[in-house]
Amino acid sequence: MADSRVSVPKEARRGEPFEVRISIRHPMETGYRTDESGAPVPRNVIRRFTCRYGGAPVFAVQVTSGIAANPYFRFFVTARESGALEFEWVDDAGVRGEARAELTVA
């Protein structure tokens, strides 16, 4: 349901860190805005983002409204074996999003 774009290198070297970049579409509604009628727009931000590699969680972010709308994260992970990188996030409304990328390790 939630759109995202992921970038991992075509190939990573075993034992070396490789770059992961992800862009997630989410308004990250702070809860401090009001709509045209003056009613407060309820807060709805992503609260947790997790990156799993070969099934094991390797990197996570406790996210708040302090992260900008349509969050962008760039980080590094140590390459082990070829496999899947799975991304998951959940927001205040309980809506989950996910993405996936395949990694080849030489």
Partner 1 sequence: MRATARLVPGRRRILRAAAAMLALRALPAIAAPELPDIPLLSQFLAGRAARWERLRLTLPVLADNGLAVPLKLAMAGPFAPGPTVRAIRLFSEKNPVPGMAVFEFLEAVERIEIDTRVRLAGSQKVVAVAEMSDGALYAAAAEVIVTIAACLDGS
Partner 2 sequence: MALLALGAALAALGAATQERSLPLGALRSGIEFAGEDVRTMQADDIANPGFLWVERGEALWRDDQGGASCASCHGEAAGSMRGVAARYPAYDSAAGAVLDLEARINACRANHQQAQPFPRESEELLALTAYVATQSRGLPIAVRIDGPARASFERGRALYTTRHGQMNLSCAQCHEQNWGRRLYAETLSQGHGNAFPAYRLEWQRLGSLQRRIRACFFGVRAEMPPSGAPELTDLELYLAWRARGLPIEAPGVRR
Binding site residues, partner 1, CB under 8 A: 17, 21, 28, 30, 32, 53, 56-69, 71-78
Region 63-102 residues binding partner 2, contact defined as CB under 8 A: 68-70, 72, 74
User: In whole angstroms, how close is the CB of 19 to partner 1 at the nearest point?
Assistant: 8
Task: Give the H or E element holding residue 93.
Answer: none
User: In whole angstroms, how close is the CB of 93 to partner 2 at the nearest point?
Assistant: 17
Distance CA 87, CA 74 (A): 13
In the three-class reduction of DSSP (H, G, I as helix; E, B as strand; rest coil), residue 74 is classed as strand
Answer left, alpha or beta for residue 87, where phi above 0 means left and psi between -120 and 50 means alpha. Answer: beta
Distance CA 78, CA 53 (A): 10
Region 2-31 residues binding partner 2, contact defined as CB under 8 A: 3-7, 21-23, 25, 27-28
Binding site for partner 2 (CB under 8 A): 3-7, 21-23, 25, 27-28, 68-70, 72, 74
